[in-house]
Amino acid sequence: MTHGGDIYSHEVELDFSANINPLGMPASVRTALVSHIGEFEVYPDADCRKLRRALAERDGVNPENIVCGNGASDLIYRLAGVLSPKRALVTAPAFSEYEKALTEAGAKVERYNLSEGNGFRIDMGITERIPAGGAVFLASPNNPDGGLIASDVLAAVIDRCRELGTALVLDECFADFAPPRSKRPRPPLSLRAFTKIYAMAGLRLGYLICEDAELAEKLASFGPCWSVSAPAQAAGLAAAGEKDYIDGTRRLIERERSFLYSSLSALGLRVFPSEANFLLFKGPTGLDGALLKRRIALRCCTDYHGLGPEFYRAAVRTRAENRQLVHAIDEIMREGL
């Protein structure tokens, strides 16, 4: 399965294929990893007690409602395995691991196709496709388009799922990059990750806020023990206390997303509005390969259901890096592929 961030198959100097915070790992996280290194010789806390307490305090929930995992992907597979729905609904396009995990768990997966005409935003029509007693996996912001689900649509989906006895999983792994919203419906299962916002992709840490404490316990005990390493727990504890870092990240992303959006649009490319740290756009087929020859990685979205080889996803990076990407695309388009 193709994902962004594959800097191992080719020589890459600028990676726009992975949506990682361009500020890099917080200094507090680096310090924590070094200062706790003596603790890495013993087994980690399989229950992640300190980390769960810190996350619970930050997010205003009880520790027993939090499940930690080896990245968000680990939790997606645990959810599919524990929920074990006969039928499930995902959107298209969307992160491919939802459908893969659900299919491997034996579910018949249906797709709700999002429209290019409205920027791939989820609309009220999805409520008519929710399977009774099944599962629905959604994302806000969605990957690869970066669109947030409108509050009224999300509220309607939550209500409909409760009415039908259907499990709703909302992936909010990119929510920290989006402008904060004071009021929004809280889903019964909210998936979060440290991977993107704290630039901790190599450490692998995600967590789930679960409305049902009994379900949280089942999810925590599903799969192998010690799924969250001691370094990941130490890093997560340090990251959980970061606030200025998040605020600074949002300001940077908002500014650079606007710059990248206008710059790519000025090249004649169709760019879709986003509230995440990446942009979906349409360009000439083969653009990713041409950029790779210049050691710049771009995510081609041809393997996303509902998208073709002319769709690309670009991470929002620093101004200097974004300029390099725009300049390289401009040159390639002028020279011809």
- Residue 264, pLDDT above cutoff 60: yes
pLDDT of residue 8: 52
CB atoms under 10 Å from CB of 337, counted, come to 11
How large is the average pLDDT for residues 299-305? Answer: 96
pTM above 0.85, yes or no: yes
Write down all domains in the chain, each with its CATH number in brackets.
Answer: 14-24+244-335 (3.90.1150.10), 27-240 (3.40.640.10)
The pLDDT > 90 percentage for the chain reads 91
Q: Which residues contact 180 (CB under 8 A, 6 or more apart)?
A: 250
Kindly report which listed range (121-125, 144-148, 221-225, 265-269) carries the lowest average pLDDT score.
Answer: 221-225
Burial label for 162, CB within 10 Å (0-12, 13-18, 19+), is exposed
CA dist 303 and 301 (Å) reads: 5
Tens-place pLDDT, residues 52-99: 999 999 999 999 999 999 999 999 999 999 999 999 999 999 999 999
Please give the angle made by the CA atoms of 253, 282 and 13, to the nearest 5 degrees: 55
- At 185 the pLDDT is 87
Confidence of residue 224 (pLDDT cuts 50, 70, 90): confident
Residue 329 has pLDDT above 70, yes or no: yes
SS (H, E, C) 188-225: CEEEEECCCCCCCCCCCCEEEEECCHHHHHHHHHCCCC
Say if residue 325's pLDDT is above 90.
yes
Per-residue model confidence as pLDDT tens digits over 153-211:
999 999 999 999 999 999 999 999 998 876 788 999 999 999 899 999 999 999 999 99
Output the pLDDT for position 1: 45
Tell me phi and psi for residue 308, to 5 degrees.
-120, -175
User: What pLDDT was estimated at residue 13?
Assistant: 94
User: What's the confidence (pLDDT) of residue 167?
Assistant: 98
Q: Which residues pair with 69 in a beta bridge?
A: 206
CB atoms within 10 A of CB 209: 23
- Give residue for tokens 């999805």: 126
Which amino acid would we find at residue 284?
P
* Helices 319-335 and 244-266, axial angle in degrees (round to 10): 20
Give the H or E element holding residue 270.
Answer: strand 270-271
Q: Which two tokens stand for residue 99?
A: 């459908």
pLDDT at res. 211: 96
pLDDT exceeds 50 at position 269: yes
> What average pLDDT does the segment 12-36 reach?
96
In this model, does residue 217 exceed pLDDT 80? yes
